[in-house]
Chain A
Amino acid sequence: MEGLWKKGLAALSSTAVAVALLAGCGGGSTNNATSNSTGTNAGTPQKGGTINIDINDDVAHFDPAVAYDQGSWEFVWGNIYNQLLKYKPQTTDLEPDLATSMPEISSDGLTYTFHIKKGIKFSNGDPVTAQSFVDEFKRILTPSVQSPAVGFIDPAIQGADDFYKGKTKELTGVVAKDDYTLVIKLTKPQTFFTKVLAMPFFSPVDEKYIQSIGGDKAFDHKPMGTGPFMMQSYTPGKGFVLVRNPNYYDSSKPYLDEIDVHVNSNQESTALSFEQGNTALMDDYTQQIPAQYYLKWSAQSQYSSLLKKQPYMGIEYVGLNTQVAPFNNKLVRQAVEYAINKDNAVKLANGRGQVTNEILPPGIQGYVQQLGGQDDVNYKYDPNKAKQLLKESGVTNLNVTMIVRNRAPLTQIAQSIQADLNAVGFHVTLKQVGESDYLSQAESGKAQFGLYGWFADFPDPYDFLDVLFNSNQAPINNWANYKNPTVDKELQQAATMPDGPERYKLYDKIQDQILDDAAWVPLYNPVNTTIHQSWVNNYYTSPVMEDPLADLWVSKH
């Protein structure tokens, strides 16, 4: 019923980002623009035109310091706001955006110096300076703003903790050296820090404007930034209108004059509107293509040629709480690994997913497709082996409760898993929960197990392996309550060591260990299914960023 990654509070589905299916490559520095562009880009881009888009639910936040879900990032990231760095279209490679070049990084890896392009203006005409960035860092670290991004820079940036706790008024680690030079100092080296900065949290903001409209709460719905689009009007519950930002620094963009965004919780009616030629595009960031339309369109040639499938940089998995009975027993966890038929899960998603045996998703550097390790951790469906492991474990109380979000196809998949597990001797009770309840249940550390999901914030193994398995993240993000001192030490090492093959080898080793301990049953990498009108040109999906609204142009139709 709902969009696949429903909005808001589900920060874990935060950056559901599409991944190009990179044939035989570990992601990273690839440029395969041809393999996943739409093939309908005829002619030269033309300026002008208006498109209609439906979204499943109201955009929760337009304030870049607060927005942290897929539905908000669709419009905040790269559209109303932009940042120092951005990802090259269809890659996981960074390039300068508001910065003139990639940052100068000191030899100890602690100091990042950015030079900011001159002449950049906010859409209201106010100039952008290095201070505009400092202001945003300070906003994030101001408790009343309620930014979820605090964890990305506190304690990573010097002085952040003191500022957050109100001990100082100055943020010593983020300094505007002059109007066009921004210096950021870290407390310890962080290999992936530039990727952190590319997230929309760290957009320049106009503090003068924020004060003029009445402060942070008002700013959440009257956004004003440096991006190619600006908001013209907004009606809560109904939708909003984005128009071209006349002050955007790249005068060639955007192509579109206007984007009309409508809130419509009824996917079926969006699909019908698409058939009628009204809605310009549908995908998991805006309005998910409903299952029955996906099946119908797949079978009709005028639509099937417009359907595209791109795996996400994300994963759906069964998380087993390693500290709670009966899953505190490794043999029981391994039994679960063998008991679940992952193909069924993908079938229930109408094939909109690909089965996986590892934690890292395809497209991210470190993804290996076939795991190594001493023992085979590419568990295959084998109910007899599962029964045997359960017998070996000697555990007799196999009554367990599984948490699942109240949304198709997850509830269906959970029921299939339930049937699989019951077949080998478990007695599974399902607990369907709403999106918000889901979070609090899972992170309580008490839930036995659940059908969970995780999506990359930025394309680095850290965002999966460290955030989800470091014992210091338990149980808030580490829902498996996984605690392994060796893994902790290796994670610490991998986070700070220089980027390169050695680092990914170490992550590989960590992955093998976690799966040998069977903390997770990786199920599948979901696939973003998209469709767009034939007259919408230059539509593509990127591994990291969401829809390229500024690059779209429409031909006469």
Chain B
Amino acid sequence: MNNAVLEPSLSPAAGTAVKRRMSFWRFARRYPSVVVGGLIVLIMVLIALFAPVLAHYDPTRPLSDGLSQMGAPLPPNHKYWLGTDTEGRDVFSRVLYGARVSLEVGFFAGLISLFIGALLGIISGYFGGWVDMVIMRLTDMVLAFPFLLFVVALVAVMKPSVTNVFIAIGVFGWAQMARIIRGQVLAVKELEYVQAARSLGASAWNIIFKEVLPNVITPVVIYLTLAIGQNILLEASLSFLGFGVQPPEPSWGNMIQEGMAYFQLAPWLIYAPGLMLLITTIGFNLLGDGLRDWLDPKVGR
């Protein structure tokens, strides 16, 4: 899915290309996406880390004065900066804690995809033949699946929890990664010095570790950055459908889901987590795009 966009089209030598030193300001002017995206990601990471310090209230505990007499959420006020939710909890505190879940799921799901994808991609590309064919058919299978349905079904079977959500996302997100890495491996294999090393009898693992891996690191970093953004959105979608992070644990997705019942009366319930989600995903996408521009000489010319 979305392969056209996520696949960084890298020339094999990109990772080893030596970058000229330039001043930060020149760099920022030339690659604003890297700087802006990186900054957003950094801020979100800090929010996630320092949520307990920044939050005024327990994100999971209903406040005794958190609901109106009729049981409606309270609008933003000087005490509850972003108002309260349907349960009478402080939305500001919940939004901060929500960053933890989003980043956690995005990152770990990305790592799992990376691990499986890298392993299968390298094996497939390096050894070729029937191994390659089997792995590539498996990849086709995963890519042909209605991804969201699949993850929902898997989470349903495993019971929803933060851990299971990122496992499910990771386990079905590897196919793209495997394709990219396989492509890199095929290209690297053709390089003259690798050919030479092979003809001199270097072992397969030796070549993979010494020659192939260094060459795939760049596309992997770029891909991982973009994938984290996608995973964060996916977690929100799962939570929105009720199969993600379980209440009272706040996740931006389940906050939006709970807020939907009050979208006219209490729009802050969907705007606050929605904007955080949007900004975070933009951050990762900017960073990923920027890294590609910066590190990939072909597109960046």
Contacts and interface: CB of A to CB of B under 8 A. Distances in A.
Contact of B247 (A344, A350, A409, A411): A411
A434 B242 CA distance: 9
A64 interface: no
A124 B71 CA distance: 51
Interface stretch (A287-295, A360-368, A503-511): A287-295
A109 to B, nearest CB: 48
Contact of B246 (A292, A296, A348, A430): A430
Given A292-B261, A431-B159, A415 B248 contact: yes
A434 B262 CA distance: 21
B263 interface: yes
A419 B59 CA distance: 12
A472 B258 CA distance: 39
B95 interface: no
Contacts of B86: 348, 408-409, 412
B246 A432 contact: yes
Interface string A414-447: 1110110000000001111010010000000000
Given A415-B87, A415-B247, A408 B72 contact: no
Contacts of A291: 72, 261-262
B87 A348 contact: yes
B165 interface: no
B144 interface: no
Given A1-B260, A430-B248, A412 B87 contact: yes
Contacts of A418: 248
Contacts of A30: none
B261 A1 contact: yes
A406 interface: yes
Interface stretch (B29-37, B60-68, B168-176): B60-68
Interface string B246-279: 1110000000011011111110000000000000
Contacts of A437: 156
B248 A295 contact: no
A310 to B, nearest CB: 19
Contact of B70 (A351, A406, A419): A351
B87 A431 contact: no
Interface of A is mostly: helix
B160 interface: yes
B62 A351 contact: no
A350 B72 contact: yes
Given A291-B261, A431-B159, A348 B71 contact: yes
Contacts of A415: 60, 62, 87, 247-248
Contacts of B160: 432
Nearest to A411: B247
A46 interface: no
Nearest to A415: B248
Contact of B71 (A268, A350, A431, A432): A350
A396 to B, nearest CB: 23
A400 interface: no
A437 B242 CA distance: 13
Interface in A323-356: 344, 347-351
Nearest to A408: B261
Given A1-B260, A430-B248, A347 B67 contact: yes
Contacts of B266: 292
A296 B160 CA distance: 35
A295 B86 CA distance: 13
Nearest to B69: A347
B84 to A, nearest CB: 12
A295 B265 contact: yes
A298 interface: yes
B265 A431 contact: no
Interface residues of A, number: 30
Contacts of B60: 415, 419
A414 B264 CA distance: 24
B250 to A, nearest CB: 11
A298 B70 contact: yes
Interface string A387-420: 0000000000000000000101101101110110
Contacts of B67: 347-348
A430 B156 CA distance: 15
Nearest to A406: B242
Contacts of A296: 264-265
Interface string A54-73: 00000000000000000000
A411 B86 CA distance: 10
B18 to A, nearest CB: 53
Given A347-B67, A412-B87, A419-B60, A431 B246 contact: yes
Nearest to B257: A1
Interface in B39-89: 60-62, 67, 70-72, 86-87
A290 B87 contact: no
Contact of A292 (B87, B247, B263): B263
B70 A295 contact: yes
B230 to A, nearest CB: 25
Contacts of B264: 268, 292, 296
Nearest to B241: A406
B70 A350 contact: yes
A430 B248 CA distance: 8
Interface string A498-517: 00000000000000000000
Contacts of B242: 406, 432, 434
Contacts of B61: 419
Interface string A167-178: 000000000000
Nearest to A272: B264
A410 to B, nearest CB: 11
A419 B265 CA distance: 25
A290 B258 CA distance: 13
Contacts of B261: 1, 290-292, 408
Contacts of A434: 156, 242
Nearest to A434: B242
Contacts of A411: 247, 258
B62 A419 contact: yes
B235 to A, nearest CB: 16
A292 B248 CA distance: 22
A128 to B, nearest CB: 46
Contacts of B248: 415, 418-419, 430
Nearest to B262: A292
A296 B61 CA distance: 27
A417 to B, nearest CB: 11
Nearest to A404: B247
Nearest to B86: A412
A472 to B, nearest CB: 31
Interface in B207-223: none
A414 B60 CA distance: 12
A432 B260 contact: no
A429 B159 CA distance: 12
Interface of B: 60-62, 67, 70-72, 86-87, 156, 159-160, 242, 246-248, 257-258, 260-266
The 7 A-B residue pairs with the shortest CB-CB distance in the complex, in nearest-first order: A292-B265, A347-B71, A350-B71, A406-B242, A415-B248, A292-B262, A408-B261
Given A292-B263, A296-B264, 8 more contacts: A268-B263, A292-B266, A295-B72, A348-B71, A409-B86, A411-B258, A412-B87, A419-B61
29 contacts: A1-B257, A1-B260, A1-B261, A268-B263, A268-B264, A292-B266, A295-B72, A295-B265, A296-B265, A348-B67, A348-B86, A350-B71, A351-B70, A406-B242, A408-B261, A411-B247, A415-B62, A416-B62, A418-B248, A419-B60, A419-B61, A419-B62, A429-B246, A430-B246, A431-B159, A431-B246, A432-B160, A432-B242, A432-B246
